[in-house]
């Protein structure tokens, strides 16, 4: 079972753009502005900034450090990396299964949502989308595409399924070409294009000024004010602090196992500290500057201060897929700006979804000695089947449940385990020394204290509070309509089956390696 | 947008842009150049 030499990133910019591409996703443009507007506006930025300093950046450094360290032992996924960090505990590799399971669960629905952005880009260019003139028609357009209703826009699920298949094949194709030839090359092109599109859209929205003479107060700058005017009384609410911590956590792709995998392809003396900080700051540029300057100011200009509150309450997806095309329909060159918006979301989605595939593909390559071609083929067949419930049972609560487990539960749990593993079991002295091998900058010493004490405590508080407040009701399916319960239960049994399968695969892989080592002796 | 909004926006935008410029300037001037 001779493994081929491990792949490495080609350039430092390449790995930074790949990690930033993984972090910059739909949430930067849809989730962040809604969270900020609903939680104190400018005052939200105070807990957001604190969470970035005490959770986001330290966790980013911890994941890069752990990943590169595990990569040095020939592992690119969490089971092997966790085992390398805690060699004396043979059970820790099974805990690491969370670092493959989490991305896999997100992949099961994310690719389908990503395919809607590709479909909307296409229909923006053909003019079909801009023909939908009002919110009612745009809602019908979205539900028709999703197959939730048959209407004049779409008579069947066929277009949605075709766009899903195209998006899926693009993802698999990029993954097939590997770290350097696929992911790095695509991110080197896609991320700059995404940022340029974002800047163009932000400029267009901010130069709308006040287009309606009847409402001179409905201006783009007052729209910015809706997001940035601070309401400091909101800081008394624990909910606002948790929302800010959650936003920072989700936006940086922490705890999923994705950064662990990407950084495992670094060489032993490649820089971590500066590269990790650069990837985080690129993500913040996309979130705080671009994400905050498009959707909320645009909606404010057309719907005013009262309308935007109702729109924000309808959720981030409604804002992105119903409100935004409605706004573009009122602008000169609306088709073009609609295309820019949805294609920007598509690029943000694809640079994230290819990162979700890599932990599983890397696991098959490294722990089973498979060629990339074989690993990607198995991954492709396996995930194509796993994606089907999200495609066909969208209205039955399947995606919400997958999002809860993959996008909330496992990543917060995974990050908490990871920080304790690195800071307390692997040891802060070793972790600090490892972080600075080949480093281009010296991390301020205060972060030793933050990583060892503050970040784990913060994460334990978030984990405990969310578990009691939000997760217990969700786990016990409170509010799930009775007709959806079989689908939700089926989803959970499926996740459990995948978890058991992955644990069995870890066991087989380690036994095979042990036998191979004994034979050599 | 009121003065408080402009202050918060200026602080966050300024902070993010400064950090981004610092990081990329450091990468470009480091002895490893842009290559790993």
Residue-level pLDDT at B34: 47
pLDDT digits (tens, 9 = 90+) for A111-143: 999 999 999 999 999 999 988 878 888 889 999
Judged by average pLDDT, the poorest of A154-163, A229-238, A311-320, A450-459 is A311-320
Please give the structure tokens belonging to residue A116.
Answer: 């809607």
Q: Residues of B with CB below 8 A from A225's CB?
A: 1-2, 5
Residue-level pLDDT at A519: 87
Residue-level pLDDT at A3: 55
Cα–Cα distance, A124 to A147 (Å, whole number)? 19
For residue A41, list its beta bridge partners.
Answer: A230
- Average pLDDT of chain A? 92
pLDDT, average across residues A462-484: 87
Residue-level pLDDT at A207: 93
* Residue with more model confidence, A407 or A16: A16
pLDDT digits (tens, 9 = 90+) for A395-406: 888 988 898 888
Tokens 């009122």 belong to which residue?
A330
8 Å CB contact of B9 and A224? yes
Residue-level pLDDT at A307: 80
* Residue with more model confidence, A311 or A443: A443
The pLDDT-based confidence of A237 (bands split at 50, 70, 90) is confident
Residue-level pLDDT at B36: 47
Q: Residues of A with CB below 8 A from B11's CB?
A: 45
Residue-level pLDDT at A1: 44
Q: Residues of A with CB below 8 A from B1's CB?
A: 221-222, 224-225, 228-229
Residue-level pLDDT at A404: 87
* Residue with more model confidence, B9 or A471: B9
Residues in chain A, how many? 521
* Chain B residue closest in CA terms to A276: B23
Cα–Cα distance, A71 to A73 (Å, whole number)? 5
- Chain A residues whose C-beta is within 8 A of a chain B C-beta are 8-13, 15-16, 41-43, 45, 49, 221-222, 224-225, 228-230, 266-267, 270-271, 274-275, 277-278, 281-282, 284-285, 288-289, 440-441
Cα–Cα distance, A367 to A74 (Å, whole number)? 9
The pLDDT-based confidence of A193 (bands split at 50, 70, 90) is very high
Contact of A171 with A111, CB cutoff 8 Å: yes
| Residue of A244, A209, A299, A189 whose CA lies nearest to A54 | A244
Judged by average pLDDT, the poorest of A46-55, A72-81, A234-243 is A234-243
Does the predicted TM-score (pTM) go above 0.95? no
Interface ipTM: 0.91
Burial of residue A102 (CB within 10 Å: 0-12, 13-18, 19+) is buried
Residue-level pLDDT at A421: 97
All residues at 6 or more sequence positions from A88 whose CB lies less than 8 Å from its CB, including other chains: none
> How much of chain A, in percent, has pLDDT values that exceed 90?
66
8 Å CB contact of A288 and B12? yes
The pLDDT-based confidence of A302 (bands split at 50, 70, 90) is confident
Contact of A278 with B23, CB cutoff 8 Å: yes
3-state secondary structure of A41: strand
Residue-level pLDDT at A2: 46
Contact of A169 with A183, CB cutoff 8 Å: no
Residue-level pLDDT at B32: 57
């Amino acid at each position: 079972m001779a493994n081929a030499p491990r792949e490495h990133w080609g350039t430092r910019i390449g790995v930074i753009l790949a990690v930033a591409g993984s972090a910059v996703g739909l949430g930067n443009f849809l989730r962040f502005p809604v969270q900020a507007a609903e939680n104190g506006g400018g005052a939200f930025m105070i807990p957001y900034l604190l969470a970035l300093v005490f959770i986001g950046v330290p966790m980013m450094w911890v994941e890069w450090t752990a990943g590169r360290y595990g990569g040095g032992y020939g592992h690119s996924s969490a089971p092997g990396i966790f085992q390398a960090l805690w060699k004396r505990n043979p059970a820790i590799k099974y805990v690491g299964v969370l670092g493959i399971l989490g991305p896999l669960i997100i992949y099961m629905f994310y690719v389908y949502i990503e395919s809607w952005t590709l479909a909307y880009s296409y229909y923006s260019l053909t003019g079909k989308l801009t023909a939908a003139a009002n919110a009612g028609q745009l809602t019908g357009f979205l539900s028709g595409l999703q197959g939730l209703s048959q209407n004049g826009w779409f008579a069947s699920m066929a277009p949605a399924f075709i766009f899903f298949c195209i998006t899926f094949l693009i993802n698999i194709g990029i993954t097939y070409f590997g770290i350097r030839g696929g992911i790095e090359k695509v991110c080197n092109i896609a991320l700059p294009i995404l940022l340029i599109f974002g800047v163009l859209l932000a400029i267009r929205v901010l130069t709308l000024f006040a287009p309606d003479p009847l409402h001179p107060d409905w201006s783009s700058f007052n729209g910015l004010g809706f997001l940035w005017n601070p309401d400091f009384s909101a800081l008394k609410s624990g909910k606002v602090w948790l929302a800010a911590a959650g936003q920072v956590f989700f936006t940086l792709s922490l705890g999923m196992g994705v950064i662990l995998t990407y950084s495992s392809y670094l060489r032993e003396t490649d820089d971590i500290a500066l590269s990790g900080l650069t990837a985080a700051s690129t993500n913040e540029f996309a979130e705080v500057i671009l994400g905050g300057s498009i959707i909320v100011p645009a909606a404010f200009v057309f719907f005013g201060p009262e309308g935007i509150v109702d729109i924000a309450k309808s959720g981030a997806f409604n804002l992105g897929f119903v409100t935004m095309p409605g706004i573009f329909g009122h602008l000169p060159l609306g088709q073009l700006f609609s295309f820019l918006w949805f294609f920007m979301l598509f690029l943000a989605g694809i640079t994230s979804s290819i990162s979700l595939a890599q932990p599983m593909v890397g696991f098959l390559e490294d722990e089973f000695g498979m060629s990339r071609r074989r690993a990607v083929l198995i991954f492709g067949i396996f995930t194509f089947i796993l994606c089907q419930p999200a495609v066909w049972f969208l209205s039955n609560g399947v995606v919400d449940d997958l999002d809860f487990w993959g996008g909330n539960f496992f990543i917060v749990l995974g990050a908490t385990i990871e920080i304790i593993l690195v800071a307390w079991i692997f040891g802060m002295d070793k972790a600090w020394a490892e972080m600075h091998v080949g480093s281009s900058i010296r991390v301020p010493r205060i972060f030793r204290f933050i990583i060892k004490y503050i970040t784990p405590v913060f994460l334990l508080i978030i984990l405990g509070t969310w578990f009691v407040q939000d997760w217990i009701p969700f786990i016990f399916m409170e509010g799930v309509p009775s007709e959806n319960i079989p689908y939700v239960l089926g989803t959970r049994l499926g996740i459990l089956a995948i978890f058991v399968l992955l644990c069995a695969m870890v066991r087989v892989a380690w036994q095979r390696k042990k036998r191979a080592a004994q034979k050599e002796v | 947008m009121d003065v408080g909004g402009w202050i918060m926006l200026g602080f966050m935008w300024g902070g993010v842009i400064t950090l981004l410029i610092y990081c990329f300037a450091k990468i470009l001037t480091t002895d490893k150049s842009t290559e790993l």
